[in-house]
Amino acid sequence: KNAMTDILNKILATKAEEIAAQKAEISLENMKVQARTAEPPRDFIAAIRAKHAANQPAIIAEIKKASPSKGIIREDFEPLSLAVEYENAGASAFSVLTEPHYFRGDLEFIPQIRRYTRTPILRKDFIVDRYQVLEALVYGADFILLIAKALEGKQLRELLEFARRLGLRALCEIHDKDDLKKVVFAGADIIGINHRNLETFEVDTSLSERLIPLIPNGKIIVAESGLHSHEQLLSLHEAGVDAFLIGEHFMRQNDVGAALREIKLGAGGEI
């Protein structure tokens, strides 16, 4: 357990250094100036509602080369072509890893993808500073990930409110009851339940079913991690999940578009 807590702490320590280096290169003031002329974010919630209206599952399809627990997940990694395949297969949003050291992500993936697609983009990273929220907007992300485990309650609330002022949505990620209290206090309207424990990396897909009854009504609920079958999506949808974030399962397939269609439609063709 402690080894994993160490990894999270290590990632956050690296992140602090990375942010300091970025601020030295492009100042906070400069980033604020750029944010004023950024394109308005695309509406992730509208994208989810459109899928529900069409009686289809809303899938946030992830673009991720590597992870700390699995190492390199996809060798032939072309973020833009993956995004285009996902969009053609009916993804509601893209989750784009921008953390460079442990996930081999890059902020530059976002503008490349945005230029050629119409689908909302999640900046998936360890966001702990307003600078990164401005950066997300400037680079063309439409919503950001805020991880309850990585933030103090007050910090989470401030980042969420700051994102809202910029017109960005935030997916607030939880793994247990303490995290849930934190995101409810912060005023989260999109709550992600990560089935993967960030301390042990174990996956427990029954976690959604245990936590959903504790979530206040009117929140958009996203299930994350360990999803690989249409049947899982059906049962989680029954339990109250609104959208599904799927990464590793797709990244291991040769044809990500076909994999997305298959998990979305199953054998019967409808959710």
The tokens 């199953």 sit on which residue? 266
Q: Is 124 annotated in the active site?
A: yes
- Cα distance between residue 215 and residue 155, in whole Å: 21
Three-state DSSP at 48 gives helix
Residue tagged active-site, from 149, 224, 248, 264: 224
Residue tagged active-site, from 15, 51, 65, 124: 124
Residue tagged active-site, from 173, 182, 248, 264: 173
Burial class (CB in 10 A: 0-12, 13-18, 19+), 68: middle
Residue tagged active-site, from 15, 51, 62, 99: 62
Return the biggest CA–CA distance within the chain.
54
Residue tagged active-site, from 67, 92, 95, 225: 225
Q: Is 152 annotated in the active site?
A: no
Q: Is 225 annotated in the active site?
A: yes
Residue tagged active-site, from 15, 64, 149, 182: 64
Q: Which helix (H) or strand (E) holds 149?
A: none
Q: Is 2 annotated in the active site?
A: no
Q: Is 173 annotated in the active site?
A: yes
Q: Is 64 annotated in the active site?
A: yes
- Cα distance between residue 57 and residue 5, in whole Å: 33
Residue tagged active-site, from 194, 208, 248, 264: 194
Across the strands, what pairs with 115? none
Q: Is 108 annotated in the active site?
A: no
Residues recognised as catalytic = 62, 64, 124, 173, 194, 224-225
